[in-house]
Structure 1
Amino acid sequence: MSQDLKTRVLEDVKTAMRAQEKLRLSVLRMLTAEMKQREVVDSVELTDAVVSAAIEKMIKQRRDSEKQYTDGGRPELAAKEAEEIKILMVYLPEQLTADELVALVKQAVAETGAVEGKDMGKVMAWIKPKAQGRTDMGKVSGLIKAQLAG
């Protein structure tokens, strides 16, 4: 039986501590704090889906920071954010390739009968359970808009 995501993260914190991997330990501690926040403050049971959502949130924050640092001429800080993203990505399911994502969007548009921009919500609702945690949902949104416009 495979262990749940929460247990895996907590075990990896111990491993990183023993190995004195400072950056990895720091990122995993931030993740455990986010998990505790959701568990205690939001009164949510920590299922794999909840932990995955926390990881996705943290990755999105780091991507935003990485872009700001790059735009601001701070490549060393952008590189640190990129490293943190790599550490967090390990805990998400295998990511969809660009081709798989395009195929999924085309299938969603066809199956929902979407033809214009106002149908975007239907398409997103169809795709979300299949793609959540496996891709950046912002990319999905852009692809849907392009598909419905063209």
Structure 2
Amino acid sequence: MVLKDQLTADMKEAMKAKDKERLSVVRMLKASVQNEEIKLGHELTDEEALTLLSRELKQRKDSYEEFKSAGREDLLAPLEKEICIVQTYLPEPLTTEELTSIITETISEVQAEQMSDFGKVMGAVMPKVKGRADGKEIQAIVKQQLQK
């Protein structure tokens, strides 16, 4: 499994560089991968690893928003660094134009015409953009496209 090997190599590199922040995040990610493998009973596929990394990133982004709204400025900087480190393991995010193009194409594929088709469109779009776009952004674009 490529991700697990990459995490191990990055962990060793962070230890040698004495980069405690990076080491901590990489260890958390590695532990998450191992826990997921135990839970599933097999090594993670690339798609499962991508799902796991997306979930880890989302948790950190949600925490960032919570801390920001609670006025906990002291916790924002370390969390920003964690988010950056987790993002290095994810594929390059799609631009808004690329995402809009994929959504428009999917809407025509599933023959969606109104807001009642929202779930059908989301179900078809999500596997295509897994790990490369934020769900909230996808949701907003789909709603915008279906309201035309």
Counterpart contact for 1:66–1:79, Cα < 8 Å: no
Aligned length: 148
User: Unaligned regions of 5+ residues in structure 1, if any?
Assistant: none
* Cα separation, 1, equivalents of 2:81 and 2:73: 12
* Cα separation, 2, equivalents of 1:44 and 1:138: 31
Q: 1:14 pairs with 12, 15, 21, which one?
A: 12
RMSD: 1.5
Residue 74 of structure 2 aligns with which residue? 76
TM-score, normalised relative to structure 1:
0.91
Divergent runs of 4+, >2 A? none
* Cα separation, 1, equivalents of 2:74 and 2:108: 44
Listed as ranges, the matches of 1:1-150 within 5 Å are 4-150=2-148
* Cα separation, 2, equivalents of 1:117 and 1:42: 36
Secondary structure of 1:57's counterpart equals helix
User: Unaligned regions of 5+ residues in structure 2, if any?
Assistant: none
Q: How much does 1:129 deviate?
A: 2.3
Question: Residues 92-125 of structure 1, C-alpha deviation per residue, up to 9 Å, x if partnerless?
Answer: 1111011111121111112211112221222123
AA partner of residue 122 (structure 2)? M
* Cα separation, 1, equivalents of 2:98 and 2:77: 28
Counterpart contact for 1:6–1:46, Cα < 8 Å: no
* Cα separation, 1, equivalents of 2:97 and 2:27: 35
* Cα separation, 2, equivalents of 1:136 and 1:44: 28
Counterpart contact for 1:6–1:51, Cα < 8 Å: no
* Cα separation, 1, equivalents of 2:143 and 2:42: 33
Secondary structure of 2:40's counterpart equals coil
Q: Percent identity?
A: 38
Q: How much does 1:72 deviate?
A: 1.2
